[in-house]
Structure 1
Amino acid sequence: MYDRFAVDRLIDLWLLEDVGYGDLTAQTMIDEDAAGAFVMNARENLIVAGIDVALRVFQRYDSSLTVKKHLGDGARAEKGAILLSVSGNARSLLTAERTALNIVQRMSGIANETARYVKAIEGTKARLLDSRKTTPGLRMLEKHAVACGGGLNHRLGLDNGVMIKDNHIAVAGSIEAAVARVRKTLPVLTKIEVECDRLDQVADALKTDVDVIMLDNMPLEAMREAVKMVNGKAKVEASGGIRLETIRPIAETGVDYISTSKIMQSAPAVDIGLDEAE
């Protein structure tokens, strides 16, 4: 989920970065009134994410362009599938091409990587979460891409929930003191999460009315014990060093959520091209 007004502001920055004072190639070799028609196509199997943003890039650069979406975000596209078609002024089409491709390749790459992790924990109760380790300026779009791939969004930002970590606990004096102070002024519908890296911290967290207990970099046996200790009194999240090859055993410990930044930070861009329409 993202806001169109906010996306338009991002697109303006992207286009300004790429176009600068003008597209020298398009303006020097293409007639001002020349027309063109192109299709954006998948060059590999992928999960679509960011197609509406790509569409908006073309429209934002030149509102006279005709842009049609053929597949929506979250759709599975096979190699060769047409995602979007665009026609109109040829200069405008080719000037905005790279910016549109860059964002849909990036977002679809994240959706693809997310889907791999989601499949790896299929059949367990665990749900995949993302993190705040996003590309600066692209958080809402990268988190949207995670949702397209079947994952869930963690906090969107620091104002979206309370996460009490080791340094917060050190300042407050204890987990119980930290949670108590937060509860005094926190909006009633906002959740509190406490990060624990030892079982005695889990026991301390259970003395409070915390909503989520994060198990940070815990060994599998300790995770299993923590899940037994919590026994449904709070949601349990596993985090820290999660990789595709390790996520299944972690899910099988009985945790409710598993969070990882790998689905965004390590996601390769997918291959999508813009070719002349036949």
Structure 2
Amino acid sequence: MYDPFQIDRLIDLWLAEDIGYCDLTVQVMIEPDEQGHFYMNAREPMTISGIEIAAAIFRRYDKRLDVEVKVKDGDVVEKGAVLLTVRGPARGILTAERTALNIVQRMSGIATETAKYVAAVAGTKARLIDTRKTTPGLRMIEKHAVTSGGGLNHRLGLDNGVMIKDNHIAVCGGIGPAVARARKSLPTLTKIEVECDRLDQVGEALAAGADVIMLDNMSIPDMKAAVELVAGRVPLEASGGIRLDTIGPIAQTGVNYISTSKITQSAPAVDIGLDEAE
């Protein structure tokens, strides 16, 4: 879930970026007392995310705007669905329109793509999780969008957990020493995840006391072997090169989590419009 306080700060940045000194078009064309009534609509099927943020953008720019949200994050809608309505001073609606659309299109695009991956692992024990490969400045809302599509969040940031990767292992002189160093200073309830790209490393990570083991870019046979080796003692995460056409067989290996950046980095924005109400 996103922090409303942080969202207000982000909205101010987004509006300032788009407007600059003023919206010159509405200033020279639209009278201050002119009123408008518009509706935001889905122009293709999608999973919704960011609709309350879009509403907050209109309200923050002009408190006189009356915004009514018709759907909620996580809803699956068909083409033509009305997502929200906004009425009030036309200048405010037209100035904030693009910022509101940009955010809900981006977030709903991520939610829609995530839902496809979640559907692809249905019936297995595997759960889809995201990565830190997000748009700078938009991580909080992009990770919220993942949850709207039925996925789970991995670390929100570097301060959320210990992820021991190949370069950490190289500096520390091995998986065992790396885990020992981390465990020595780690807060009691914080987990340690170790990235492994070979089966022998999986055994080392297990012996060292890792809480979670990542199987990085492993083949399907090696993932199956790792699942047998670990035998449920710690959760296993598969990662690296995960795509919609490969995630199904990976889920069938018995891993607990599958992480991919495709749901955030590569998700296309969906088509949403703002049209005048009749």
- TM-score in same-fold range (> 0.5): yes
> What is aligned with 1:124?
124
Residue in structure 1 matched with residue 243 of structure 2 by the alignment: 243
* Aligned residue number for residue 228 of structure 1: 228
| Unaligned segments of structure 2, at least 5 residues | none
Give per-residue Cα distances to partners, 1:26-60, cap 9 Å, x unaligned.
Answer: 11011111111110011111111000110010011
- Distance (whole Å) between structure 2 residues aligned to residue 126 and residue 156 of structure 1: 20
Q: Does 1:174 align with 2:197?
A: no
RMSD after superposition: 0.6
| Cα-to-partner distance string for 1:102-133 (whole Å, 9 max, x where unaligned) | 00000000000000001111111100010000
Q: Distance in 2 between matches of 1:71 and 1:167?
A: 45
Structure 1 equivalent of residue 190 of structure 2: 190
Runs of 4 or more, structure 1, over 3 Å off, are none
Aligned length: 278
Which residue identity does 2:177 align to in structure 1?
Answer: A
Displacement after TM superposition at 1:247 (Å): 0.5
Q: Which residue of 2 aligns with 1:48?
A: 48
Offset, 1:185: 1.3
Q: Which residue of 1 aligns with 2:115?
A: 115
1:64 aligned partner? 64
Amino acid at match of 1:273: G
How far apart, in 1, do the equivalents of 2:34 and 2:262 lie?
44
CA distance in 2, matches of 1:182, 1:58: 46
1:35 maps to a residue whose letter is Q
Identity in percent? 70
The residue type paired with residue 136 of structure 2 is P
Once the two structures are TM-superposed, the CA of residue 84 in structure 1 deviates from its matched residue by 0.6
Whole-Å separation in 2 of the counterparts to 1:70 and 1:104:
14
The equivalent residue for 2:257 is 257
- 1:98-177 aligned at under 5 Å gives the runs 98-177=98-177
Counterpart of 1:268?
A: 268
1:77 Cα deviation (Å)?
A: 1.2
What's the TM-score once normalised by structure 2's chain length? 0.99
Specify the SS of the correspondent of 2:207.
Answer: coil
1:271 positional shift? 0.6
1:207 counterpart SS class:
helix
CA apart distance, 1:95: 0.3
Q: Which moved more, 1:75-84 or 1:100-109?
A: 75-84
Q: Which whole-Å CA distance do the structure 2 matches of 1:189 and 1:35 have between them? A: 55
Structure 1 unmatched runs, 5+: none
**Paired position in structure 1 for 2:94:** 94
Cα shift at 1:187: 1.0
Counterpart secondary structure, 1:215: strand
CA distance in structure 1 between the partners assigned to 2:145 and 2:42 by the alignment: 16
Q: Which moved more, 1:94-103 or 1:206-215?
A: 206-215
Residue 195 of structure 1: SS of its match in structure 2?
strand
Counterpart CA distance in 1 for 2:174 and 2:266 is: 35
How far apart in 1 are the matches of 2:275 and 2:61?
19
Distance 2:73 2:115 in 1: 13
1-side partners of 2:77 and 2:88: how far apart?
25
Amino acid at match of 2:204: D
> Shift in Å at residue 194 of structure 1?
0.1
Q: Distance in 2 between matches of 1:143 and 1:176?
A: 32
Counterpart Cα distance in 1 of 2:62 and 2:174: 57
Report the Cα distance in structure 1 between the residues aligned to 2:101 and 2:175, rounded to whole angstroms.
Answer: 47
Which residue does 1:215 correspond to in 2? 215
Distance 2:242 2:187 in 1: 31
